[in-house]
Amino acid sequence: MIKSKGLRAPKKKSMKKVSIGKKSMKKVSLGKKTIKKRSLGKKVIKKGSPGAKREGQRVPRKGLAVDDFAQKRSVEDALALLAIPGHMRHEFLSSRVDTRLYLDYDEVLESPLTPEILTDRKDKVIARLDALLGPFSEDKTIVYYSIASRHGFSPRHGKFKVSFRPFVRGLSIPYTEIPLLLRSMQQDDFWDMSVYKEGEQLLAAINGVKDRDDPRVLTKEHADDPDAWYVAQILDDNALPFHMPLDLGHSTTSSTTSLTSSTLRESNVDAVLVRDVLACLRSERFRDYASWRTVGFALKSLGDDVYLQEFQEFSRIPEYDSTAAQKACRELFERASTNGVTFGTLRHWAKEDNAEGYQRHPSRASCVTMS
C-alpha cells in the first residue's frame, strides 16, 4: 500500500488528482501557473500482505541470485530444519542434479475425500510404481519406495485434492531425466510432469506446507520413517546411478519404446570411479574365487569389455599374475550373463571394506539446497 503525503492546496483553489502509470500526481493550481508535484510517501507493507516476509517463510525467487534465494546446508542441518512441522521450505534443484527418483500424483475433486477414495487412489499409485520399477527388480537392483501424501481442501483450487508423492530408494537419476523415464514406460499420462522443470525446480519439502493459506502438510507414509527417505537430494550410499539411454530418452512418442532390464546400464559410472571403488576392496575379494567372479560380473554389467582392463589390473596379484589368470579374466567377460550382479554390489563392498576411502567418492549428498 502506498501512503501519500501530498501538498495541501490553498482553500478556494481547484485541485485535481491525476494518475500517471502507477504513480500518483497532484495537480495544484497556483494563480496562472500550474505545477505538477509528484506525491511523496513511504512504501508501507502491512503485516500479512503478499510482500511481507514471515518467520520461516521462503523468500520468493523474483530475480534474486540463487545464493540469495536458496542455501546449501549440510544433510544434518537440513534434516533438523525439515523436522519442524508446518515449515514452508522447499528443495531447490538446479541443472542436472542427481536425485532420488521422485514422482507426483495429483487429482482435484469436487466432493470431500473419503477413506474409500484415498485407498482407491493409493492402490493405483502403487500399481503404477510396481510397473515402473519392475525392470529394475528384474536386473536385481534393490529398490524401495515410501509414499508421502498431502490430501485435503485446496484453497487455491477451491476444491478437494488428492496428492501422493513417492520417493524411491536405491536409485539416483538426474531429475530432468525422470520425464523421459516416465514417457518410455508410457506413464506420463498418470504422473504430474510439471515437477521436473529444466534449469531449476522448487520441490515442496517433507513435513511442510506450501504457504500459510494452505494448511495441508506433506506427511510421511509412516510416522517413524526417517525424514531422509523423503528428501530428493539425499541419496543412499549404495544407490544405483542411472541415466536414460539416449535412444529411449529422446523418443518423441511414449508408445514407440519401452524400458527393459537390458537398458539398465550405469552409464554415468566412469573409469575414475571404477578404479576408486576397486582400490577400496580388501585383498580377500580377489583371492576368493566367488568374490573375484562377482567383481568381474559387476564390471561386465557396465558394458561388454569397457572395463576388462580394470578387471585384469584388479586381478594382477602375485599369485595370479600369469598369462592363464589374464585369460580367465577375458573368458569371464565373454560370458553373456552377469548373473544379475551390478556395480552397486561393488559400491556396497567398498563401503564395508574401506569406509574412509569410499567417502572420497560418495554417492550420498553432502549437502541439501533449500529455499
SS (H, E, C) the chain: CEEEECCCCCCCCCEEEEEECCEEEEEEEECCEEEEEECEEEECCCCCCCCCCCCCECCCCCCCCHHHHCEEEEHHHHHHHHCCCCEECEEEEECCCEEEEECCEEEEECCCCCHHHHHHHHHHHHHHHHHHHHHHHHCCCCCEEEEEECCEEECCCCEEEEEEEEEEEEEEEEHHHHHHHHHHCCCCCCCCCCCCCCCEEEEECCCECCECCECCCCECCCCCCCHHHHCCCCCCCCCEECCCCHHHHCCCCCCCCCCCHHHCCCCCCCHHHHHHHHHHCCCHHHHCHHHHHHHHHHHHCCCCCCCHHHHHHHCCCHHHCCHHHHHHHHHHHHCCCCCCCCHHHHHHHHHHHCHHHHCCCCCCCCEEEEC
How high is the pLDDT of residue 60?
A: 56
Q: Sketch the domain layout of the chain as residue ranges.
A: 2-39, 70-261, 269-370
Contact 58, 45 (CB under 8 A): no
CA dihedral 180, 184, 188, 191 (to 10 degrees): -80
How high is the pLDDT of residue 267?
A: 47
- CA–CA gap between residue 98 and residue 356 (Å, rounded): 23
The residue length of the chain stands at 371
How high is the pLDDT of residue 49?
A: 42
- At 243-295, the pLDDT tens digits run 666 554 444 443 334 454 444 445 456 677 788 888 888 888 878 888 888 88
pTM of whole model > 0.95? no
How high is the pLDDT of residue 38?
A: 42
Q: Which residues of the chain have pLDDT under 70?
A: 1-68, 95-96, 138-141, 238, 243-270, 304, 317-322, 336-338, 358-366
- CA–CA gap between residue 267 and residue 258 (Å, rounded): 18
- At 58-87, the pLDDT tens digits run 445 556 666 667 888 999 999 999 999 999
How high is the pLDDT of residue 56?
A: 41
